[in-house]
Amino acid sequence: MSGGIGKKTVRDIDVAGRRVLVRADLNVPIENGVITDDTRIRESLPTIEYLLAHDARVIVCSHLGRPKGPDPSLSLAPVAGRMANLLGREVLFAEDCVGPIAEAAVESMGRHVLLLENLRFHPGEEQNDPQFARQLASLADIFVNDAFGAAHRAHASTEGVTHYLPAVAGLLMEKEVRYLGALVANPPHPFAAVVGGAKVSSKLPAIQHLLPKVDILLVGGGMANTFLKAKGLDVGASLVEDDLLEAARDVMRSADARGIELHLPVDVVAASRFAADAETVTVPVEQVPSGYLVLDIGPETVRRYAAALQRARAVIWNGPMGVFEMEPFASGSFELARTIASLDAVTVVGGGETAAVVAAAGLHDRFTHVSTGGGASLEMLEGKTLPGVAALLDA
Is residue 58 very low, low, confident or very high in pLDDT (cuts 50, 70, 90)?
very high
The rounded mean pLDDT for the chain is: 95
> What pLDDT is recorded for position 33?
85
CATH topology of domain 187-381: Rossmann fold (3.40.50)
Question: Which of the residues are catalytic?
Answer: 40, 199, 352, 375
Cβ atoms 158, 147 nearer than 8 A: yes
Dihedral sign, CA of 52, 177, 307, 301?
positive
pLDDT digits (tens, 9 = 90+) for 335-371: 999 999 999 999 999 978 999 999 999 999 999 999 9
- pLDDT of residue 1 exceeding 60: no
Provide mean pLDDT across the span 49-75.
97
Reported as a pLDDT band with limits 50, 70 and 90, residue 3 is very low
Q: Are 42 and 79 spatial neighbours (Cβ–Cβ below 8 Å)?
A: no
Mean pLDDT of 298-323: 97
Q: Is 173 left (phi over 0), alpha (psi -120 to 50) or beta?
A: alpha
> In which element (H, E) is residue 87 found?
helix 77-87
Task: Give CA–CA dist 120/108, Å, rounded.
Answer: 24
Burial of 2-15, coded b for 16+ CB within 10 Å and e otherwise, reads bbbbebbbbeebeb
Q: Pick from 234, 335, 244: which is nearest to 294 by CA?
A: 234
pLDDT of res. 2: 35
Domain spanning 2-173, CATH class: alpha beta
Q: What is the largest CA-CA distance in the chain?
A: 70
Span(s) in the chain for CATH 3.40.50.1260: 2-173, 187-381
Long-range contacts of 255-259 (CB under 8 A, 24+ apart): 255/211, 255/217, 258/211, 258/212
Report which DSSP code applies to 4: G
**What integer pLDDT is reported at residue 304 of this predicted model?**
98
**Average pLDDT for 309-320:** 97
pTM, two decimals, is 0.90
Question: For position 373, what pLDDT does the model report?
Answer: 86
**Are the CB atoms for 151 and 380 separated by under 8 Å?**
no
Instruction: Tell me the C-alpha to C-alpha distance, in Å, between residue 237 and each of 42, 100, 295, 322.
Output: 42, 59, 11, 15
286-297 confidence digits (pLDDT tens): 999 999 999 999
